[in-house]
Amino acid sequence: MSQAVFENNMPYLIILMLVGSMGGGAWFYYTDTQATIATLRDNNAKLMIAAETNQETINSMARDYAIAQENISTLQIRAQEAEAYQDELAAKLRRHDLTALTLQKPGLIEKRINNATAKIFDELEIDSGKQSTTTN
């Protein structure tokens, strides 16, 4: 009798095993999909933070570039002014025969040269970071 019950219920057992397998497969697919979604959500959050950081870096670099361009323009203007002053000084030296003037008035020229040299050295020290000690 038990074999007859088994043979009569065999199609139901097969169907039960198939439904159980499908249910197990569906449960595995669901849990795996949820884990994948969680991983993708975490990765997306990390990518968003990285994108924000990159944008902030780009903005910072753009600001730094603009400041550098302003500084370069200022330096170019100052260099042109220095070249013009150099040309002016060279023209003055060409106009005057310092050798003949020195031979005629040595005390006058020596005092002016020494004062100008001291002034230039003071300006170089100030440009190098030393505090000015003279009062105007």
Is residue 98 within 8 A of residue 109, CB to CB? The reply is yes
Question: Is the pLDDT reported for residue 22 higher than 90?
Answer: yes
- What integer pLDDT is reported at residue 95 of this predicted model? 82
Annotate 3-15 with b (16+ C-beta within 10 A) or e (fewer): eeeeeeeeeeeee
- Could you write out the DSSP letters of every residue in 11-69? HHHHHHHHHHHHHHHHHHHHHHHHHHHHHHHHHHHHHHHHHHHHHHHHHHHHHHHHHHH
Q: How far is Cα 134 from Cα 136, in angstroms, rounded to an integer?
A: 7
- Span 85-109, pLDDT tens digits: 999 988 887 887 777 777 888 888 8
- What integer pLDDT is reported at residue 47 of this predicted model? 97
Question: Is the pLDDT reported for residue 114 higher than 80?
Answer: yes
Lowest mean pLDDT among 29-38, 63-72, 112-121: 112-121
Q: How far is Cα 112 from Cα 27, in angstroms, rounded to an integer?
A: 100
pTM given for the model: 0.49
Q: Helix or strand or coil: residue 73? A: helix
Q: How far is Cα 106 from Cα 98, in angstroms, rounded to an integer?
A: 10
**Token digits for 41?**
């959500």
- Which of 130, 102, 85 shows the shortest CA–CA distance to 121? 130
